Amino acid sequence: MDITINNLFDLNETIAKDIFTDATYPWEVLSKIGDFIIELGKNLPEDEYELRGENIWVHKSANVFPSAYIAGPAIICKDAEVRHCAFIRGKAIVGEGAVVGNSTELKNVILFNKVQVPHYNYVGDSILGFKAHMGAGSITSNVKSDKKLIVIKNGDERIETGIKKIGAFLGDNVEVGCGSVLNPGTIVGRESNIYPLSSVRGVVASNSIYKNKNEIVSKN
């Protein structure tokens, strides 16, 4: 499958579009998220965004519950919702209309517009495309148990990333079932569905239904 940025994401559906300009693959931007947020935040319109602490910009229409914790750098976009006891550890962009739910933890992530991580999710070192949804209790695992550098496995192709921490990259409109684990370096193409309680590795093609590693069927 083509796992380039343009094949996974509609870049018009994120405030972070410019971070992808010189990149081919999504993991190439992970190390840039923090600095990008700081520079972008300085230029956000002051009549729309409120500066809440060091390098934390929150759109005035966003609904951030009093019990949520946000560390900078972070940008919470228009009409986003950050619910009770959400834990944003920094280097996070929460897109327009996105939902970060109760007890959900984010770290070094870009959530495109309308993403939902609404219940007990961990999302780290990851990028979630437009309208991607992670069911309750589903998480991204971002470090291998042997602590080795992550290799992206795309069919017979092996791509050395040189990176120790990579979570998952979900294309636009991906649905991840409850209780699933997306192992380090997982990539799920646009419009695909992951069954609940799945352990996913490697690349799942666009427009697929992932039932288990031996049963991945096309929607077409």
Question: Please, what is the average pLDDT of the chain?
Answer: 97
pTM: 0.98
Instruction: Count the alpha carbons within 13 Å of 154 in the hemisphere toward its beta carbon.
Output: 17
pLDDT digits (tens, 9 = 90+) for 141-162: 999 999 999 999 999 999 999 9
pLDDT digits (tens, 9 = 90+) for 56-105: 999 999 999 999 999 999 999 999 999 999 999 999 999 999 999 999 99
- Judged against a pLDDT cut of 80, whether residue 9 lies above it is answered with yes
